[in-house]
Amino acid sequence: MNSNRVVPKRMRRVVVSERDAVYHVMTRTAGQAYLFGAREKEMFRAHMLAVARFCGVEVLTFCLLDNHVHLLARVPGEVPELTDAQLLDRCEGLYGGHEHSRHALTLEKIREALSFGGEVRERMRSNLIGRMCNLPMFVKLLKQRYSIWYNRTHDRHGTLWSGRFKSVLVEGTGLPLGLVAAYIDLNAVRAGIVSDPAKYRWCGYAEAVVSVKSACAGLHAIAGGDTPQEAVARYSVLLYCKGSAPGRGKPQDARIPPELMEAVRQRFGSLTPFGQLRARFRYATRGAILGTAEFIESWFREHRGLFGKRRSGPRKIRGGDWGDLRSFRDLQSLDGP
C-alpha cells in the first residue's frame, strides 16, 4: 500500500480497547431529509442522555441539526464492577417511565432475571454489561430507541438513518480535543442558523453557558481549569476564535462576526494559538484519528498488521502550521467536504 493513500474502507471506523477513548460521532437522516424540529431535537437529547448513562458513556458536547447529529463521546475502556442494584438503576433510567409500552415489559424481565439468581441471573448480567462501554452499541441503542419514538409519533415506517455512523478517534486532551469540540459546537454557525453558538439551543456549549450540569461537566473535561466556570471561559475563547476565522470550505459557510469575537476576547482574554483555525476543518470528520504524532503512532503500532507496507501512522495536516497536531489520513486535496 502506498503510504500516501487514504485509509482503506475497512479502517473507516477506528476503535481502541481496554482504555478510555474519545470519539467524534456523526450520523445523518436517510436521504439527508430535514426531519428534526424543536420537539424532535429535545427528544433526541433526552434519549441521548438516557442511553449514555446506561452505557457508561460521557457525552462531552454535541450538536443536533435538522438532518444530522454530532457527538463527542468519551467511552471507558472497561465496565466497572456493578452490583445488581446498580445495574437495575441504569436499566430503570433507560426503560422506566414506559408503563404502557414494550419497554416496561423489558424492565420487568430484567427485574425478574436478576432476582431469580443462578444461570438466569448471570445471563442477564452478561447481556446488560455487554452493552456498556462500547461505542457501536451506544450508537446502535440510541438510534434504535429514537427511531421507534420518531416513527410512532409521526405515524411513519422505514429506516430513519442513513446507513452506519461515522466516527473519528480523537486524542482525549489538549488541542485535538478542543479543536473537535469547537468544530461540533460551531455547526449551527457554519450553517447560518445563528451567528453566536451560545444562542443555539441544541448544542453542548449553549447548555453550558446556562449552567446545565452535564454540559458544564463536558466542557470542564475538554478545557480543564479549576472550576466548570473557568472551563467555560477558556473554551469560549477557543470556540469564538475558531468560529470567526475565514474558512476554506464551502463558500456559503458562515462565521462568527468579528465584533462578537472581540467582545469575547475582551471578556475572557486572548488565545492566539487558536486564531489560525479555519471555520471548516474536515480532518475532524474524515481524518480517522486526530491527535499528536505520538498518539497516532501508538495506535498504528498496536494495529500494524492491518496496513501492509505503510511504515508510520501520523500524517501532516495540510493548510497551515499545526505544530504537533496530526491526522491518520492524508487528505491530499485542500478543498472538499
Instruction: Please give the pLDDT value at position 104.
Output: 61
Spatial separation of the C-alpha atoms in residues 123 and 87, rounded to whole Å:
13
Instruction: Please give the pLDDT value at position 97.
Output: 63
For cell 503500532, what's the residue? 301
Both 114 and 202 in one domain: the answer is: no
Residue 275 lies in a domain: yes
Residue 247 lies in a domain: yes
Residue 59 lies in a domain: yes
- By three-state DSSP, how is residue 327 classified? strand
Residue 119 lies in a domain: yes
Residue 150 lies in a domain: no
Instruction: Please give the pLDDT value at position 103.
Output: 59
Both 216 and 202 in one domain: the answer is: yes
Both 107 and 210 in one domain: the answer is: no
Both 117 and 243 in one domain: the answer is: no
pLDDT tens digit at each of 337 positions of the chain? 344 444 444 445 787 877 899 999 999 999 999 999 999 999 999 999 999 999 999 999 999 999 999 999 999 999 999 999 999 999 988 877 655 555 566 888 898 999 988 999 999 999 999 999 999 999 999 999 999 999 999 999 999 999 889 999 999 988 889 889 999 999 999 888 998 999 999 999 999 999 999 999 999 999 988 888 888 888 888 888 777 765 555 545 667 777 777 777 666 665 544 444 443 467 788 878 889 999 999 988 888 887 888 889 898 887 666 778 889 988 765 443 3
Both 27 and 115 in one domain: the answer is: no
Structural domain boundaries enclosing 115: 84-129
Instruction: Please give the pLDDT value at position 281.
Output: 65
Both 222 and 236 in one domain: the answer is: yes
Instruction: Please give the pLDDT value at position 215.
Output: 95
Question: Are the beta carbons of 189 and 195 closer than 8 angstroms?
Answer: yes
Query: What is the domain-level CATH number for residue 175?
Result: 3.30.70.1290
The DSSP-derived string for 103-115 is HHHHHHHHHHHHH
Instruction: Please give the pLDDT value at position 22.
Output: 97
Residue 147 lies in a domain: no
For cell 482503506, what's the residue? 8
Q: For residue 153, what is its C-alpha cell?
A: 409519533
Residue 306 lies in a domain: yes
Phi, psi of 211 (to 5 degrees): 70, 30
Instruction: Please give the pLDDT value at position 273.
Output: 44
Residue 337 lies in a domain: no
Both 297 and 311 in one domain: the answer is: yes
Instruction: Please give the pLDDT value at position 144.
Output: 92
If one counts the domains in the chain, the total is 2
Both 190 and 55 in one domain: the answer is: yes
Strand partners, 319: none
